[in-house]
Amino acid sequence: MSSDESDFYGDDHQVEDLKQKVGQFDIGKWWQDYGKLNTPLMLHAKGTTEHASHLHNPYAADEYAWQLTETVDAFLTRLPPATTEQVPGHSWIWVCNPYIKRKSKSEAQNQRVRGGEDEAPEDEGADLATLMQAGEERLHFASSFIHESRKPGISKALITRETKKAGMDAAKDILELAKGLRVTCGKWMVFCTIFEIDKVWESVAKATANNELGIAAKVATKSRLDQRTERLICVYTADFSDTGDVTRVARKLKQLGIIKGKPLYYKPGQSA
């Protein structure tokens, strides 16, 4: 309550003006205008994820990634893939699911592996270094076996069959090892023309930030050297062996209208 001894609330004219503005304030319209802003805090307030107690961004401070301090719309305006040019160290634009905790980019082992710098944020317990060493040894064993099987006198049909089997066995062993070492992310890959890339990326980015797709997504920036009319969008899932989740993400992409006759490919692992 104001008093004659205080001008904290302003003079009588100002107080009356403020009361009038309060009376005319349309709460419903305010929520209609501002409730659509998909900031993580807004999504959390809406109860998008019941058990989310923290929000995460492994790509915090990365200028080519969405930040928790900005709306998704502001991020899309800041970095439209159709016109955002590639610069050294930034071939991709990133958005991460803020409800799933992953290693920060600075702590991830894939940042020290050639070809892994542009892959999804790692699981907290991932051991990529061990996987790479063991995987190379397993591939070397398969290669030696294939070389030995190509000795003179062995039929071509047998060589072909054994070579194929050796390759499949090696791949199976490496994938099983990856699961044990928690290097399990995989990705759906969607190719779009440059004319539709901004619109498709908008749907992917908003769905990722809203915890409706996978752990992260990326889109290729504009390259002056690559003149192809298609761009790649990758949507990452947490575990390539979780067929239910992998299928769920594919269905969501279809529901969002992203596929529409486009080829959709899935690739497990950290390969670029």
Dist CA 100 CA 238 (whole Å):
9
Q: Is the distance from CB of 237 to CB of 187 less than 8 angstroms?
A: yes
**pTM for this entry:** 0.72
Q: Give the right CATH number for 72-106+183-268 from 3.10.180.10, 3.20.10.10, 3.40.50.1220, 3.30.760.10.
A: 3.30.760.10
* 188 and 249 Cβ atoms separated by less than 8 Å: yes
> Do the Cβ atoms of 168 and 221 come closer than 8 Å?
no
Structural contact between residues 56 and 100, judged by C-beta atoms closer than 8 angstroms: yes
For 7-62, how does the pLDDT look when each residue is reduced to its tens digit (9 = 90+)?
Answer: 444 566 666 766 676 676 666 665 555 455 455 545 544 544 444 447 889 999 99
Task: Count Cβ atoms below 10 Å from residue 194 Cβ, excluding itself.
Answer: 14
Q: Find the helix or strand (DSSP H, E) in which 219 lies.
A: strand 216-220
197, 219 in Cβ contact below 8 A?
yes
Q: How far apart are CA 73 and CA 32, in angstroms?
A: 16
Any alpha helices (H) in 53-98, and if so which ranges?
Answer: 72-78
How buried is residue 208: exposed, middle or buried, by Cβ count under 10 Å (0-12/13-18/19+)? buried
Alpha-carbon span 74 to 67, nearest angstrom: 10
Length of the chain: 272
Please state the domain extents for the chain: 72-106+183-268, 128-180
Element (H, E) at 186: strand 186-193
Per-residue pLDDT of the chain (272 residues; tens, 9 = 90+): 444 444 444 566 666 766 676 676 666 665 555 455 455 545 544 544 444 447 889 999 999 999 999 999 999 999 999 999 998 888 999 999 999 888 777 776 666 667 666 777 777 887 888 888 888 898 988 888 888 878 777 788 888 888 889 889 988 998 888 888 888 889 999 999 999 999 999 999 999 999 999 999 999 999 888 777 889 999 999 999 999 999 999 999 999 998 877 788 999 865 54
70: left (phi over 0), alpha (psi -120 to 50) or beta: beta
Is 7 buried (19+), middle (13-18) or exposed (0-12) by CB count in 10 A?
exposed
